């Protein structure tokens, strides 16, 4: 009986974690460049039950009863790096990164492209798909959280003001025609090696930094100024999955209550001396 109680409790915990993940996705449905998380649910190994102390002849093995499930768990959360919809804003500091045809990878997963950003000189390099940029007081191009957007030379891009233009390859030019630098685009052949750090930033878990996509003829992309990539969260599908997770949680909760009532009767009523 207690094994069934533990299995129902494990199901409740897994569905609660899934619900929290889906709630976070829905909360970021309007966050530019946000990539929705996906859950991978796994079952614990089943147990094979045998009947014990049965009246079988000597030497015979105990008969099998069947398998007993030992519960489920949320194994991992994986971002979905599918391209989000592109929305025109008209703001010169908004830059959308459009992925084209990318080379096949050894992992079998599609690769992904990212902007490279840094909190300051000497800080760890992070990656982002949020192209909702701004210009700070010193004239540097930054994310909305204040992280410097990096160029191909590894340094922060100083554009002066918002009156700049950028072509589809990332070359940036001032209103006077002066070359300001080239916006760097990093390529990850296995984006699952990136983990979310908050504020729309991702961290590469391996040593070193991601290689640049600049100059790689096998990588096709385009930068569009005045546009922004929206979140790839499907709000209607997420709401449906949230309802399914809630119903599964309730079903496990009812099972847990039934076990609790059975235990209550076993303790307080069974074997009572009248």
Interval 194-217: pLDDT, tens? 999 888 899 999 998 999 999 888
- What average pLDDT does range 151-159 have in this prediction? 93
- Distance of alpha carbon 84 from alpha carbon 253, whole angstroms: 37
Q: How does residue 261 score in pLDDT terms, banded at 50, 70 and 90?
A: confident
Q: Exposed/middle/buried for 231, CB within 10 Å: 0-12, 13-18, 19+?
A: buried
Polymer length in residues for the chain: 274
Lookup: tokens for 180: 């300001």
The whole-number pLDDT of residue 199 equals: 86
Quote the pTM value: 0.81
The CA-to-CA distance between both ends of the chain, in Å, stands at 26
Q: Exposed/middle/buried for 131, CB within 10 Å: 0-12, 13-18, 19+?
A: buried
Interval 113-141: pLDDT, tens? 999 999 887 889 999 999 999 999 999 99
What's the half-sphere exposure (Cβ side, CA atoms, 13 Å) at 183? 34
Dihedral over alpha carbons 229, 231, 234, 235 (to 10 degrees): -130
Q: Is pLDDT above 90 for 40?
A: no
Interval 55-78: pLDDT, tens? 655 555 667 666 666 678 787 888
- Distance of alpha carbon 156 from alpha carbon 116, whole angstroms: 10
Q: Which H helix or E strand runs over 93?
A: none
The whole-number pLDDT of residue 60 equals: 58
CB neighbours of 14 closer than 8 A, spacing ≥ 6?
A: 41, 71, 72, 73, 74
Q: Cα 75–79–82 angle (5° rounding)?
A: 140
Counts for the chain of helices (H) and strands (E), in that order? 2, 19
- What average pLDDT does range 229-236 have in this prediction? 94
Q: How many CB atoms lie within 10 A of CB 226?
A: 15
Q: Cα 10–81–120 angle (5° rounding)?
A: 100
Q: Which of 154, 129, 166, 158 is nearest to 142 (CA)?
A: 158
CA 194 to chain centre: 9
């Amino acid at each position: 009986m207690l094994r069934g109680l533990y299995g129902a409790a494990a199901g409740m915990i897994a569905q609660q974690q899934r619900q929290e993940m889906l709630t976070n996705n829905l909360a970021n449905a309007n966050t530019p460049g946000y990539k929705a998380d996906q859950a991978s649910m796994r079952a614990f190994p089943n147990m094979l039950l045998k009947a014990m102390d049965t009246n079988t002849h000597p030497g015979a093995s105990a008969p099998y009863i069947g398998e007993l499930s030992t519960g489920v768990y949320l194994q991992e959360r994986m971002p979905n790096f599918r391209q989000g919809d592109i929305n025109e804003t008209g703001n010169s500091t908004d830059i959308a990164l459009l992925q084209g045809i990318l080379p096949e990878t050894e992992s079998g997963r599609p690769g992904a492209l990212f902007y490279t950003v840094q909190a300051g000189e000497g800080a760890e390099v992070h990656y982002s798909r949020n192209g909702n940029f701004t210009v700070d007081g010193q004239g540097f191009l930054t994310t909305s959280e204040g992280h410097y957007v990096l160029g191909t030379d590894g340094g922060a891009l100083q554009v002066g003001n918002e009156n700049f233009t950028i072509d589809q390859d990332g070359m940036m030019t001032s209103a006077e025609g002066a070359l300001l630098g080239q916006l760097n685009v990093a390529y990850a052949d296995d984006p699952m090696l990136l983990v979310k750090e908050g504020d729309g930033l991702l961290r590469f878990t391996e040593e070193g930094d991601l290689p640049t996509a600049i100059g790689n003829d096998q990588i096709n992309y385009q930068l569009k100024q005045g546009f922004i990539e929206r979140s790839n969260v499907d709000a209607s599908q997420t709401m449906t999955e949230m309802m399914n997770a809630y119903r599964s949680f309730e079903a496990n909760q009812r099972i847990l209550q039934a076990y609790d009532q059975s235990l209550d009767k076993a303790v307080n009523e069974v074997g009572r001396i009248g």
